[in-house]
Structure 1
């Protein structure tokens, strides 16, 4: 069986697919690729089912050797990619010879790159998914040096396209605009319009659970203020893309590994496209929320 043998996983690489649905009542979140659009594009470029597992490479730095001839594509964050030392295109289909080294360099734009291999990464599924859930620890281990990742047969035929010109997994805008709809607890805010006033900065503590936002200390954009007695709510379900406001007034944008319930008000929910964009935000990046 063909495989990828990992020489260096970089700072943080996990196996991800579309996640595990139907277990929220057991406290298990969906998880899966943080930028679902980029993962789907990578799978499409190699002719995989959309559910096939890929590698989510955070920041870059992945080095892996092909066992057998492989067909791959890298999407999402803009990272320099080489095969046997030769640069190859972003969001394009590439054939990798047996024994060749695939290198995904440090991201120059965006945060998470997606490496799809024709046939899919075939690690054992847990609760119907091959996704690593970093919050609960469910799923395969975080990818480590020396790991041998078998390649499966989860394909739908040869890809109809070999380049994705519309891939927007990374964001070069000076201010990234995220769109949302009203949340179930938007009335908990003293000023419901406050989240859309001014800009936010991405906090360095952000991860696959959520993107933490903070106000720029050099600006005078107002903090978020909750109505008296509304800083906590009875524990209730939260969705992917939820914008939750803790008592600090610094919102959190929930990503793939978010908890299934929360006790702080959800004042907005990001659209699907904006949730993908949020997954590519890097610390210090400027964000603007819009409804």
Structure 2
């Protein structure tokens, strides 16, 4: 039989995430998936799972779970305190959690999002090929709530040999995002484009899985007319009426009517997942 996890404490926002739903944007379905994909992939490798196996993504305050059978778990991503029945357990390396014990993932000490992978993966029912929670469309499982039961699969591979200190990337002290101008950079004044590429912004506390919002200088538009709704991609930097850039993350809408001044490549977005409010942000010509 497979193990089941009882959610003892769901935390501020804990969701189930894998690599997301690709290939459905033409149907209006966002990609979703782990915001910090490298952290998800490393956590899964450390417990012998395929990289894209479903795991838990916590936000800031962690969560707590109790398995009904012994499971192997690893907590990675944003550093945090980990305990098993109140006793300290290592962060960033696999641990065995006995049946009936409580695995508690504490608040992030740096960064925002921790990832909790279990050998065998979290086996909720997939929707359109993914087990990811999508906060914008509502597809996939709901965010964790107290008392939820989560099935865990059977481990299928032996646990790999581990280095003494896995190379978890540190959350950014400054978020530097390479930005490829276009497709609507010509909707902004030349001065606004210069400001975008040189000014100091900070991460807004209103950021979420849909988009990283920024605070800083407003970007003035050259064209002030309406823009017909058009397709949006992961990493698109949309500029709403307040003139402050928003970087679209994994739960972003598939269409939008505000001009996109630039696009941040996907490989640069993992750091955005761990940038706490107030983190300095710079866009660079990339």
Q: TM-score range by the shorter chain?
A: over 0.9
Alignment of 1:231-242 (within 5 A): 232-242=226-236
The 3 A distance-change label for structure 1 pair 115 and 244 is same
How many residues in Structure 1 have an aligned counterpart in Structure 2?
282
The residue number in structure 2 matching 1:244 is 238
The 3 A distance-change label for structure 1 pair 72 and 52 is same
Distance in 2 (CA, whole Å) between partners of 1:140 and 1:98 is 24
- Unpaired runs of 5+ in structure 2? none
Alignment RMSD: 1.7
Distance in 2 (CA, whole Å) between partners of 1:84 and 1:19 is 32
Shift of 1:40: 0.9
Confirm whether residue 229 of structure 1 aligns to residue 221 of structure 2.
Answer: no
Q: Secondary structure at the match of 1:105?
A: strand
CA contact (8 A) 2:49 2:119 kept: yes
CA contact (8 A) 1:35 1:169 kept: no
Q: Secondary structure at the match of 2:178?
A: strand
Q: Secondary structure at the match of 1:43?
A: helix
Shift of 1:27: 0.5
Shift of 1:196: 1.9
Distance in 1 (CA, whole Å) between partners of 2:269 and 2:221 is 24
Confirm whether residue 283 of structure 1 aligns to residue 277 of structure 2.
Answer: yes
The residue number in structure 2 matching 1:218 is none
Shift of 1:273: 3.2
Shift of 1:119: 0.4
- Unpaired runs of 5+ in structure 1? 216-221
User: Residue by residue, what CA displacement relative to the aligned partner does 1:96-137 show, whole Å, maximum 9, x if unpaired?
Assistant: 122221111111111111100000001111111111100011
The residue number in structure 1 matching 2:175 is 176
CA contact (8 A) 1:53 1:116 kept: yes
CA contact (8 A) 1:56 1:112 kept: yes
User: Residue by residue, what CA displacement relative to the aligned partner does 1:124-181 show, whole Å, maximum 9, x if unpaired?
Assistant: 111111111000111111110011111013744422435663212522x2x3222232
The 3 A distance-change label for structure 1 pair 245 and 156 is farther
The 3 A distance-change label for structure 1 pair 179 and 87 is farther
Confirm whether residue 4 of structure 1 aligns to residue 11 of structure 2.
Answer: no
